[in-house]
């Protein structure tokens, strides 16, 4: 079965395209009756595991108490807001709540434009599906919303700033710890700091995953002006936020929406963050991801397929030497009972460690099946262009393992 016929949105899920019947911990049972191990985990939003008992209990207690309200503020809002501000560690920061990462990123653009009175936005990474982020016709050309993509390439960011000096409202980027070196992130952040342009760290994907709040200031040595969080907050429940300098965030005072007072995602977030803190969750996610990546590489070496595992933490990516190999690999992983985010990042949850041995067994079965149709090959044989394409698919930008000129040529091809 595929998606419901009347739903137009084309959301890609792992083959075979079946429907979920139930989920628990690290597994999802689909309509074929099979129990699949999940490495998609709600595109990385399920950090504790499906239907985590502490989150479920917190929501159930809240509903039974009669305290849930869609009309006005609750104490839960204040507790969560203060917790996130403390986690980020910015002095006198202010915060605005939203339902999705797309909304939080849109809010970042709007507050920056209102605060600065400027219009041009320099962007790197994926910030949602809205028209703000539509691609322009040419490299370094602004789209209809005034957004210019620099694809994580420092030289391109410098060109954008030079062409639009005095017109820049914001630089927004999504930090990546799989395909980008720390030095590249530091350089991008320093360019923004040196030019005095507002910087937003879009941490919808990476925030609250390996550390409380954001890893970004530890990586670059100073704070961004704004941060967005979403996926790591509430174990799959709809919640996001924009947090930043109080003077900039003052521009968000009129940003509201119908579900602003909904307390269910707030309660889910408080239970999620409390569990992560009490059970050393961030370190455990990092350790589980590192162990998984290392063992997947061991299997690849045994089976002798040209497949590379990128990443060593809570997120990783599985990339074959060709698109044909990728398609066979993902299809065979699905047949072996693995739910993967095809071509994109795989995300571990705390529950992944409980099924790690079974996961590895299934992956080896999938690779063994794949090897019957493909000759042996060394992971090192994967071309730099193939890795570049994998990075573009995962982070909507270039990686930094190729020279600048080569990256520009391939970016033009990918666009």
Residue 260 pLDDT exceeds 90: no
Domains of the chain: 20-52+280-382 (3.90.1150.10), 67-278 (3.40.640.10)
Q: How far apart are CA 398 and CA 401, in angstroms?
A: 9
CA neighbor of 359 nearest in space, from 303, 304, 292: 292
Q: pLDDT at position 125, please?
A: 97
Check the CA dihedral 368-372-378-380 and report its sign: negative
Q: How far is CA 88 from CA 35, 58, 130, 285, in A?
A: 38, 24, 27, 19
pLDDT above 60 (res 1): no
Q: What is the pLDDT, as a whole number, of residue 72?
A: 87
Q: What is the pLDDT of residues 45-81, one digit of tens each?
A: 999 999 999 999 999 999 999 877 788 888 999 999 9
Residues 297 and 390: their CA atoms lie apart, in Å, by: 17
pLDDT tens-place string over residues 184-204: 999 999 999 999 999 999 999
Using pLDDT thresholds of 50, 70 and 90, give the confidence band for residue 16: low
The reported pTM is: 0.95
| Alpha-helical regions (H) of 255-337 | 264-278, 281-303, 323-335
pLDDT, residue 402, reads 84
- Between residues 242 and 92, the one the model is more confident about: 242
CA separation for the pair 49, 361 (Å, rounded): 20
């Amino acid at each position: 079965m595929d998606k419901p016929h009347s739903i137009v949105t084309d959301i890609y899920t792992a083959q075979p395209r079946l429907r979920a019947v139930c989920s628990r911990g690290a597994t999802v049972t689909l309509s074929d009756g099979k129990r699949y191990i999940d490495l998609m985990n709600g595109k990385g939003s399920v950090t504790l595991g499906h239907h985590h008992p502490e989150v479920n209990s917190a929501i159930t207690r809240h509903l039974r108490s009669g305290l849930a309200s869609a009309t006005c503020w609750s104490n839960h809002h204040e507790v969560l807001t203060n917790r996130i501000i403390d986690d980020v560690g910015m002095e006198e920061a202010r915060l605005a709540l939203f339902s999705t990462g797309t909304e939080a990123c849109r809010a970042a653009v709007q507050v920056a434009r209102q605060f600065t009175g400027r219009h041009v936005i320099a962007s790197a990474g994926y910030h949602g599906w809205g028209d703000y982020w539509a691609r322009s016709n040419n490299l370094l050309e602004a789209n209809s919303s005034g957004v210019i993509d620099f694809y994580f390439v420092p030289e391109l960011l410098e060109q954008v700033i030079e062409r639009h000096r005095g017109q820049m409202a914001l630089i927004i980027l999504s930090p990546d710890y799989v395909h980008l070196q720390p030095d590249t992130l530091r350089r991008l952040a320093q360019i923004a700091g040196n030019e005095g342009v507002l910087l937003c760290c879009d941490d919808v994907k990476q925030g609250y995953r390996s550390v409380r709040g954001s890893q970004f200031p530890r990586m670059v040595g100073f704070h961004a002006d704004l941060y967005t969080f979403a996926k790591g907050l509430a174990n799959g429940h709809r919640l996001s936020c924009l947090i930043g300098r109080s003077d900039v965030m003052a521009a968000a005072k009129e940003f509201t929406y119908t579900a602003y007072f909904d307390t269910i995602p707030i309660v889910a977030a408080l239970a999620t963050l409390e569990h992560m803190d009490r059970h050393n969750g961030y370190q455990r996610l990092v350790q589980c991801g590192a162990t998984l990546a290392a063992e997947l590489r061991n299997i690849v070496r045994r089976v002798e397929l040209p497949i590379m595992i990128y990443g060593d933490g809570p997120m990783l990516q599985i990339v074959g030497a060709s698109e044909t190999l990728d398609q066979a690999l993902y299809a065979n992983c699905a047949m072996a009972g693995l739910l993967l985010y095809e071509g994109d990042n795989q995300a571990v949850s705390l529950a992944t460690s409980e099924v790690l041995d079974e996961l590895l067994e299934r992956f080896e079965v999938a690779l063994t099946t794949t090897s019957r149709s493909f000759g042996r090959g060394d992971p090192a044989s994967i071309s730099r262009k193939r890795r570049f394409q994998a990075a573009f698919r995962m982070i909507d930008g270039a990686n930094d393992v190729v020279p600048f000129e080569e990256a520009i040529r391939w970016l033009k091809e990918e666009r």
